Amino acid sequence: MTDAHSLVLEAVTKVFETPEGRLVTAVDNVSLSIGQGEFVTLLGPSGCGKTTTLRLIAGFEFPTAGRILLDGRDIAHVPPDKRGMAMVFQSYALFPHMSVFENIAYGLRLRHWPKAEIERTVGEMMALVNLSGLEHRRPASLSGGQQQRVALARAMAVRPKVLLFDEPLSNLDAKLRVALRAEIRRLQKQLGITSIYVTHDQAEAMSLSDRVVVMNAGRVEQASAPAELYTRPATRFVADFIGQANFLDVAVERVAGGWAEITLWAHPMRVPAHENVRPGPAALMLRPEAICLAGRAGACAARFQGRVRAVTFLGSAVEYEIETHGQTLTVSDREAVWGGIFAEGELVGWDFAPERGYVIP
């Protein structure tokens, strides 16, 4: 097991100057605490600041303001090779003229480890990533997945205090990405290494992480466990960015104990609400799978009615676009696969359990 380490970002800001002399704030007053052994993913659209934040942590960039604390020591202006971190890159960054063994051993040789210790550690790492027997192969003779395993083993071999991932799976096909992300999570848990991962892939972020940090325009919108992020988003941006979401305008009459009393198209109900919700106009978020369709494709009550405008068969579910009260809802119906699919133009009843909705400001 590797000793786990904690990392704290305190009001970190990074401002770049463009060739035209314009100042651009890439990271804007970011504060984040990452616990020992925690796996945290930075997620967001292109240009949101996630990669710059990772580079600041790695030491490839220095912050304009703020502190980066590793086990309580400020490393904001410490060179990368003095931080005790390792990074797994998108491009693998393997040495083509070296064998698999030599690639993994490279960092250990730089640190002047004894030969016997290097051989033992490389052997352990190769076994961990299921590459035993490939010691003498060159990177060019390996598949993309095997090359990424070598890069992962090389990063872990030096026993880093923090392991950093810069979109490491984006060059692989979809099936291999799923297999390798499970492998990364298994290894991270087994070794207990504090890890920070950058990706634009939501499924990757949700399946890997203890917490996901959603970034937008250089700021942290929300940092939460995946399930909380999905069901209890802090902002409309998070709700809209993570998965699919429907937003319905509602009037909030009263808020108490994390619940809001609302009226939706003359139907009063009590729905979970974000702590910042106040009486007045708000948005009710409904995930597509939270909506139930009545009739032959389902068995729920129907306080509301709508007309099917589009039908998409996805195998495990049928996705509908339903026009109701002047809005279009996206509905994901798993029961339709077995219970019959509604046709375009058909009138359907729909409803939702209040506890599956969420009111945001």
Contacts of range 88-92, beta carbons closer than 8 Å, 24 or more positions apart: 88/148, 88/151, 88/152, 88/155, 88/163, 88/164, 88/165, 88/166, 88/168, 89/151, 89/166, 89/168, 90/166, 90/167, 90/168, 90/170, 90/171, 91/171, 92/139, 92/147, 92/148, 92/150, 92/151
- Closest to 104 (Cα-Cα) out of 55, 157, 67, 59: 157
Give me the count of residues in the chain: 361
Which amino acid would we find at residue 264?
L
Whether 244-360 and 7-231 are alike in CATH topology: the answer is: no
Q: Are 39 and 195 in contact (CB under 8 A)?
A: yes
Band of pLDDT at residue 340, cut at 50, 70 and 90: confident
Statement: residue 266 has pLDDT above 70: yes
DSSP state of 49: S
The values of phi and psi at residue 81, to 5°, are -75, -5
Statement: residue 270 has pLDDT above 90: yes
Return the HEC string of 173-236: CHHHHHHHHHHHHHHHHHHCCEEEEEECCHHHHHHHCCEEEEEECCEEEEEECHHHHHHCCCCH
Superfamily of segment(s) 244-360? Nucleic acid-binding proteins (2.40.50.140)
DSSP state letters, 306-338: EEEEEEEE-SS-EEEEEEETTEEEEEEESTHHH
More confident position, 149 or 338? 149
Span 7-231: which CATH code? 3.40.50.300
Distances (CA, A) of 356 to 147, 270, 352: 43, 11, 7
Q: What is the model's pTM?
A: 0.87
Dist. CA 48–CA 221, nearest whole Å = 11
DSSP state of 147: H
Model confidence pLDDT, tens digit, residues 36-80: 999 999 999 999 999 999 999 999 999 999 999 999 999 999 999
- Which two tokens mark 48? 């949101």
Q: Where are the domains of the chain?
A: 7-231, 244-360
Q: What percent of the chain has pLDDT over 90?
A: 68
Q: Are 64 and 17 in contact (CB under 8 A)?
A: no
DSSP state of 13: E
Band of pLDDT at residue 297, cut at 50, 70 and 90: very low
Dist. CA 65–CA 53, nearest whole Å = 13
Band of pLDDT at residue 1, cut at 50, 70 and 90: very low
- Which two tokens mark 32? 């984040």
CA 346 to chain centre: 37
Model confidence pLDDT, tens digit, residues 100-159: 999 999 999 989 999 999 999 999 999 988 888 898 999 999 988 889 889 989 998 989
Report the pLDDT value the prediction gives residue 176, as an integer from 0 to 100: 82
